[in-house]
């Protein structure tokens, strides 16, 4: 792994991941998620975070009953395929950014990065499982039934919690600390640009859960 990370091929893989991630972002937001978002309303998307963290059928149904029939149908489209595709956009971008940062570190920092750089892609995977659970709950309520399965509500919240752990805690913590560490020895302008980008991406991943989750409880 050490030889791979320090190879020029790995840096190219990271750059491809970043560019591919941004392309997926654009497609998911502009093509798949924009139409349903117009129906739901941007101001109501934060309620999905409360649905993710509901944990029980009663709390999940309470959130979903606040949406009308058209909005529930739009939520289904937003989640599948919209958010499932979107998840791999942020996963690839953050993976690529952490990968490039890891190539500029050494010793235990690089060894830690060789593991933690995969955290965003694990977050994407858990996001997919979460979206499947959310879609199932939305479909149940949209069909006029409020009997959401307890296991679905709980597993959805577990997947969402693991997603945020990897995406909004573990990966940003390494990204910010690693950027500061690298900056102490590498003052090249190109490298400084990367470190600033790492920090910006890290904070952008932290903003949503840290601002929206507390309001759900």
The tens digit of pLDDT for each residue in 60-110 reads: 999 999 999 999 999 999 999 999 999 999 999 999 999 999 999 999 999
Residue-range definition of the domain harbouring residue 202: 2-216
For residues 168-189, b (16+ Cβ closer than 10 Å) or e, as one string?
bebbbebbbebbebbbeeeeee
Low-confidence spans in the chain with pLDDT less than 70: 2
For 101, residues 6+ apart whose C-beta sits below 8 A from its C-beta are 113, 117, 175, 178, 179, 182, 194, 195, 198
Instruction: State the total domains in the chain.
Output: 1
Query: The whole model's pTM is what?
Result: 0.95
C-alpha distances (whole Å) from 130 to each of 104, 114, 123, 162 are 34, 26, 10, 10
């Amino acid at each position: 792994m050490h030889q791979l990370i320090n190879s020029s091929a790995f840096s190219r893989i990271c750059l491809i991941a970043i560019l591919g991630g941004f392309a997926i972002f654009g497609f998911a937001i502009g093509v798949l998620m924009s139409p349903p978002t117009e129906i739901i309303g941007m101001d109501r998307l934060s309620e999905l975070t409360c649905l993710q963290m509901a944990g029980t059928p009663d709390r999940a149904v309470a959130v979903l009953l606040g949406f009308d029939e058209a909005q529930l149908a739009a939520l289904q489209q937003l989640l599948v395929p919209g958010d499932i595709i979107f998840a791999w956009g942020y996963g690839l971008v953050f993976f690529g950014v952490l990968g490039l940062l890891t190539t500029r570190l050494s010793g235990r920092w690089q060894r830690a990065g060789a593991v933690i750089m995969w955290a965003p892609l694990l977050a994407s995977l858990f996001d997919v499982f979460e979206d499947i659970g959310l879609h199932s709950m939305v479909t149940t309520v949209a069909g006029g039934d409020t009997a959401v399965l307890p296991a679905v509500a709980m597993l959805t919240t577990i997947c969402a919690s693991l997603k945020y752990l990897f995406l909004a805690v573990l990966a940003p913590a390494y990204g910010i600390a690693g950027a500061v560490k690298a900056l102490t020895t590498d003052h090249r302008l190109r490298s400084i640009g990367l470190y600033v980008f790492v920090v910006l991406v890290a904070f952008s991943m932290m903003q949503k859960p840290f601002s929206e989750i507390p309001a759900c409880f």
